[in-house]
Amino acid sequence: MLRVMKRRDLLAAGAVAPWFAPASVFGANDRLTFGAIGTGNRGGWLHRTFQKLGAQCVAVCDVYQPYLDRAVKESPPGVKAYVDYREMLEQRGIDFVVIGTPDHQHKPMLLAALAARKDVYLEKPFSMSLEESREMAAAVRRTDRIVQIGMQRRSMPFIHNAKKVIDDGALGKISLARAAWNWHFDAPLDNSPLEGKLDWDRFLGPAPKRPMEPKRFRWWRGFYDYSGGNMTDQGTHLMDVVQWMTNNGAPKSAVCHGYICKAKNGEVPDVFTAVFEYPDMMATWTLNYCSAFDFDWSITLQGERATMVMDRRGYRIYKDPGGHPRPGQSGPATEIIAEVADKDSAELHPKNFLDCVRSRREPNCPVEVAAAAVAGPHMANLAMREGRRVTA
């Protein structure tokens, strides 16, 4: 069944039932072939990972010659190299494409891949705006293509385990969720000449035309023309988990404040806090790229019975003693009553996609989930840039 979701339904989708397409044409021993569009940092990892998982790379595409040259070297003999992704999509014998480009290219590349009848693994964040999310999701549902969005926590067993524990009532009613990401991060925002040839016009694609500035290519996430900044980059991951664990879709409203602390040559804040309103709880999302205290990502879910802290180590549940501790007693978050380690690999998510390309079943992160995950960060960006409360 093909279905186009209304905007409010799309943004409210926290999870969807399995969606089935026609049976696979692939045999059990057929080797899937793919083309990689964008082979820089994350795209390069995906290019190598899909090959490690058994898929054959037959085409690579990048607008930066050093990345393209590296991808060719890391591919089997005979791989074809392209600068224009549209030309790559015309190549015969490609089962799926991997899109690991800057955010502003996600929509046109996804639509072009769907038109070329390709399955797609698309890196997060899903879109550049709420409107793009609606258009992209509807476009996918008009086809029978398998589309997975690269939010790897959706394929990590320890997070699925945490979801079951929460659903079983271990935390009780959750009143507040706190997502955070702390890195001491120096963005490469220098404007010195690039090493190697860059096709600047193709890099810009649908973005506003402007003279070439190397810093915009080196750290495109520092500019709103090409991304939603740090807000949607890391926020997509964490707010998805918050909404998944608490059975929520996109938030009802968002407010946000932030500022540029160190990344002075860019446009996007490297320190901010957003607050999201849900029907029966609140959530905050704080990023600080200027301090490594409480290093890396974490999600704290505060319930009336217990609190769960999730991070790269796994999750821990702390008993809530109730009331106020007396002088000399420990604080409430000291007694661990359950603990599960994170031993999961990010490779599980691409593997799930390959499994779904063969079986034609819905992948772990379909487009509705991805749209709901990035909706709050999109709203927070608007709230911060326009100085107002943004509602869904």
Q: Has residue 168 got a pLDDT over 90?
A: yes
What integer is the mean pLDDT of 128-143?
A: 98
pLDDT value at residue 334: 67
Give 326's pLDDT tier (boundaries 50, 70, 90). Answer: low
- Which of 226, 178, 162, 174 is CA-nearest to residue 200? 226
- Looking at residue 64, its amino acid is Y
Q: How far apart are CA 55 and CA 49, in angstroms?
A: 9
pLDDT value at residue 321: 80
pLDDT value at residue 164: 97
pLDDT value at residue 331: 54
The torsion angles phi and psi of 356, rounded to 5 degrees, stand at: -75, -30
Q: Has residue 4 got a pLDDT over 60?
A: no
pLDDT tens digits for 211-254? 999 999 999 999 999 999 999 999 999 999 999 999 999 999 99
Q: Has residue 122 got a pLDDT over 70?
A: yes
What is the tally of helices (H) and strands (E) in the chain?
A: 12, 15
Mean pLDDT in the chain?
91
Residues belonging to the chain:
392
Strand order in the sheet with 80-82: 80-82, 56-61, 33-37, 96-99, 119-122, 147-149
- Which of 62, 63, 58, 61 is CA-nearest to residue 75? 58
What integer is the mean pLDDT of 106-131?
A: 98
Of 17-31, 180-194, 289-303, minimum mean pLDDT range: 17-31
Between the two ends of the chain, the Cα-to-Cα distance in Å is 27
Q: Has residue 46 got a pLDDT over 70?
A: yes
Domains of the chain: 7-154+348-365 (3.40.50.720), 156-345+377-391 (3.30.360.10)
State pTM to two decimals: 0.91
Give 329's pLDDT tier (boundaries 50, 70, 90). Answer: low
What integer is the mean pLDDT of 48-54?
A: 98
pLDDT value at residue 336: 87
Give 257's pLDDT tier (boundaries 50, 70, 90). Answer: very high
pLDDT value at residue 14: 40
Query: Would you report the helix, strand and coil content of the chain in percent, each value rounded to 5?
Result: 35, 25, 45
Cβ contact 269:258 at 8 Å: yes
pLDDT value at residue 2: 27
**CA R_g for the chain:** 21
pLDDT tens digits for 181-220? 999 988 768 899 999 999 999 999 999 999 999 999 999 9
Q: Has residue 108 got a pLDDT over 60?
A: yes
Which residues lie closer than 8 Å to 151 by C-beta, 6 or more apart? 124, 236, 237, 240, 349, 365, 369, 370, 373
Which residues lie closer than 8 Å to 82 by C-beta, 6 or more apart? 59, 60, 61, 88
Helix (H, G, I), strand (E, B) or coil at 265: coil
